[in-house]
Structure 1
Amino acid sequence: MRILVLGGDGYLGWPTALHLSDCGHEVAVVDNFARRAYDHEMGVRSLVPVEPLQVRVDAWREVSGQDIKMYYGDLVDADFTVEMIRDFRPDTIVHFAEQRAAPYSMIDRKHAVYTQHNNVIGNLNVLFAIEEVDPSIHLVKLGTMGEYGTPNIDIEEGWLEVTHKGRTDRMLYPKKPGSFYHLSKVHDSHNIEFACRIWGLRATDLNQGVVYGQETPQTARDPRLATRFDYDAIFGTVLNRFVIQAVLGHPLTVYGTGGQTRGVIDIRDTVECIRLAAENPADPGEFRVFNQMTESFSVEEIAKTVANNYHGTVEVEYLENPRVEQDQHYYNVVHTGLVDLGLDPHLLSNTLINSLFGVAEQFKDRVDLAAMRPTVQWRTAASPMRTEGS
């Protein structure tokens, strides 16, 4: 199968490209390196050094004997997008190429508008390019569990059967996103569903939970193949931050009461989910949704898991929550679709013991302590949204 990975230089795009290549697929990647530019803008960097894309591709050829084709360009450029797809002629397009940080989208008006424009317009250009070049191409799009928010009912896999005044219909599950970034993903989902319904395209929307882990069997084969490890308050995950803080002997900084609950998934399961979705495509005209997560934890539970699995003494510090979100809420997610396709999930505690603490210990001298403190406030009366001194 010919698979084109959009955003193939990123945290998930790169290991996904390697996993698909290792499984025998012909892979190409495209990127505009915006993620690397965000590091310069924010004054942060990945804990683990990341090689340039060309070095990574050359290293993969050395260790695997497999070639990965590269394209450089921006999906917001419609002409580039359609010509790239026409040149590679993929069977499947895996779409990771979006600004993916909620805090970044909430910095101020400029960053909110950029996030919406980059994500929504880029995704629309991909849809139009598929329709023009080959409507049979299967789009595998990375969504987010954050599209749903935290409703007081079970979260189904994308669709909900509703009975109203004696009549029943099947409709997209209601969305209540918590940031301009998550809102852009909602727009993407609606646009993709529309394209499937009107043009007969085929698509799988993967509403993914918080990803943890930095290593896959492929990236572990050579240090030059490493992917990112983000721990800062803008692009890092809460789990990565806790792991770094534990290794440094600092308190784990929990926002609010820590009762906020989220779905999580190991990076090794993420790349396998992409493979399963690609090798088992949606039907023509079908907008298929999978909730791509394996476990759910509250932030406080994640902190306790880190503390219980670390060999040293770990304390917890509760900070005022800079986000606008419920501290306590119901959270029950249906996530059976990918398991039915064959996913065999990894567990969080095993990953912490076997991988994350080791990575943090190895590169702890690269940690920027100031980068872990929250600097973006969700609630503000005026732009900018960033706090003083940030």
Structure 2
Amino acid sequence: MRVIVTGGDGYCGWATALHLANRGHDVAILDNLVRRSWDNQLRIETLTPIAPIQRRLERWEQLTGKPIELMVGDCCDYPFLSESIRRFHPEAIVHFGEQRSAPFSMISRERAVETQVNNVVGNLNILFAMRDLVPDCHLVKLGTMGEYGTPNIDIEEGYITIEHNGRKDTLPYPKQPGSFYHLSKVHDTHNIHFACRIWGLRATDLNQGVVYGVITEETEMDELLINRLDYDGVFGTALNRFCIQAAVGHPLTVYGKGGQTRGFLDIRDTVRCIEIACNNPADSGEFRVYNQFTEQFSVSQLAEKVKEAGSKMGLDVTIEHVDNPRVEREEHYYNAKNTKLLDLGLQPHYLSDSLLDSLLNVAVKYRDRVDMKEILPRVTWKKGAVEEAAGVKVG
């Protein structure tokens, strides 16, 4: 089918665009390339060397003969967005084109506003463009498990059946987001649900857990296709950060008590989940929610796994508990459901010694690129960015 991948130059979007193209879909990437700009503004750089998007796509076509169209522009620019959708006429839109970092959204008022405007307005623009131009198109939207927070009950997939005062109804699951970023995703969810209900659009919201890994079938074809691997305190996620810290001999920085438990999945499962959602579209007027993760771990459990794997490779790995920059429960109940994608055929890649070895090997290969000043967190939920606290504006 014809698929637009917004945010196709980013971590999940790049791997997804290549995967869908490799499976025979006609793919276009729509991206304003702001992720690269944010790196420059924050003076950070991903571990792996990332070529310009045009060079990446040229190499992909040389290797596979399957061109991917590039449309450079902003989802918040409605004339550009609507013209791109009108011309390409997609059957599915995979929407990754959002600011995806909780710490980024907590740096300052300006970054919180930037996050919410970029995410909420861009998503709204897509909904209106679908209504007016491609009403049968299927929206596959990347949400986040962080919308739910850490309730003291099981987390269902999007909806919960409640009995109250003798009456029963199935309602959207309550949301307890933990940052301005997660709040933006909640707003997206409500807007998409409304658009499906009122306009008859079709959408699948994939509440994704924390993604780890760098290699997919497509990104390992050539050095120019390699994916991002972020380790800094703004964009780096737990397992990826731990592997890079192990590679450079820095203690694994566990925030607080380390009991924070979340859903996790391999980047290879991210792209497969997107493919499954595209191949099994929602019905007209239907708003589906799938919880997109494969396993649950606490931060301390991840650190112990990396320590064990690193020690087997001859790395001297230690664990250090640091003050938690976030405002979150460090010990809590967590049990989330994740059966719907499995029912549709997902065959998960579980976190194993071989996967950790692979990730650690990538970290070791590029460890000379690590900026040691970026190992520790830079943003606290109560004060914002370290630089701003010191009177120096970030960006």
State the TM-score, normalized to the length of structure 1: 0.97
* C-alpha separation in 1, matches of 2:287 and 2:29: 24
Gap change, CA 1:187 and 1:249, over 3 Å in 2: same
1:358 aligns with 2:361: yes
* C-alpha separation in 1, matches of 2:159 and 2:389: 38
1:147 aligns with 2:136: no
Alignment map for 1:264-283 (pairs within 5 Å): 264-283=264-283
* C-alpha separation in 1, matches of 2:280 and 2:241: 35
Cα deviation for residue 352 of structure 1 reads 3.5
Maintained 8 Å contact 1:377/1:387: no
Cα deviation for residue 237 of structure 1 reads 0.6
CA deviation vs aligned residue, 1:47-76 (integer Å, no higher than 9, x gap): 000111111111111111101111011011
Structure 1 residue matching 2:54: 3-state secondary structure: helix
Maintained 8 Å contact 1:230/1:237: yes
Structure 2 residue matching 1:220: 3-state secondary structure: coil
Maintained 8 Å contact 1:99/1:119: yes
Structure 2 residue matching 1:348: 3-state secondary structure: coil
Gap change, CA 1:116 and 1:187, over 3 Å in 2: same
Match 1:368 to one of 354, 357, 371:
371
Maintained 8 Å contact 2:178/2:328: yes
> Which residue pairs with 2:193 in the alignment?
193
Work out the percentage of aligned pairs sharing the same amino acid.
Answer: 58
> Which residue pairs with 2:167 in the alignment?
167
> Which residue pairs with 2:336 in the alignment?
333
Maintained 8 Å contact 1:145/1:208: yes
Alignment map for 1:4-153 (pairs within 5 Å): 4-153=4-153
Pick which of 277-286 and 244-253 moved more.
Answer: 244-253
Maintained 8 Å contact 1:108/1:385: no
Cα deviation for residue 35 of structure 1 reads 0.3
1:317 aligns with 2:317: no
> Which residue pairs with 1:298 in the alignment?
298
> Which residue pairs with 1:182 in the alignment?
182
CA deviation vs aligned residue, 1:330-387 (integer Å, no higher than 9, x gap): 000000011011101011124543421111011000000111211211124x999954
Pick which of 312-321 and 166-175 moved more.
Answer: 312-321
Please tell me the residue identity of whatever aligns with 1:135. P
Structure 1 residue matching 2:379: 3-state secondary structure: coil
Maintained 8 Å contact 2:378/2:385: no
Please tell me the residue identity of whatever aligns with 2:365. Q
State the TM-score, normalized to the length of structure 2: 0.96
Maintained 8 Å contact 1:161/1:169: yes
* C-alpha separation in 2, matches of 1:256 and 1:351: 28
Cα deviation for residue 309 of structure 1 reads 1.1
> Which residue pairs with 1:343 in the alignment?
346
* C-alpha separation in 2, matches of 1:318 and 1:281: 44
Structure 2 residue matching 1:66: 3-state secondary structure: coil
Task: Provide the alpha-carbon RMSD of the alignment.
Answer: 1.4
Gap change, CA 1:17 and 1:251, over 3 Å in 2: same
* C-alpha separation in 2, matches of 1:95 and 1:216: 20
Maintained 8 Å contact 1:306/1:352: no
> Which residue pairs with 2:234 in the alignment?
234
Gap change, CA 1:342 and 1:180, over 3 Å in 2: same
Pick which of 240-249 and 317-326 moved more.
Answer: 240-249
Maintained 8 Å contact 2:306/2:356: no
Pick which of 303-312 and 202-211 moved more.
Answer: 303-312
Please tell me the residue identity of whatever aligns with 1:115. T
Gap change, CA 1:99 and 1:351, over 3 Å in 2: farther
Cα deviation for residue 241 of structure 1 reads 1.4
Gap change, CA 1:147 and 1:140, over 3 Å in 2: same
Gap change, CA 1:307 and 1:361, over 3 Å in 2: same
* C-alpha separation in 1, matches of 2:253 and 2:389: 18
Where in structure 1 do 4 or more consecutive aligned residues deviate above 3 Å? 350-354, 382-390
* C-alpha separation in 2, matches of 1:328 and 1:274: 32
Which blocks of at least 5 consecutive residues in structure 1 are unaligned? none
Alignment map for 1:205-244 (pairs within 5 Å): 205-244=205-244
Cα deviation for residue 78 of structure 1 reads 1.1
Structure 1 residue matching 2:30: 3-state secondary structure: strand
Cα deviation for residue 205 of structure 1 reads 0.1
1:249 aligns with 2:237: no
* C-alpha separation in 1, matches of 2:387 and 2:250: 27
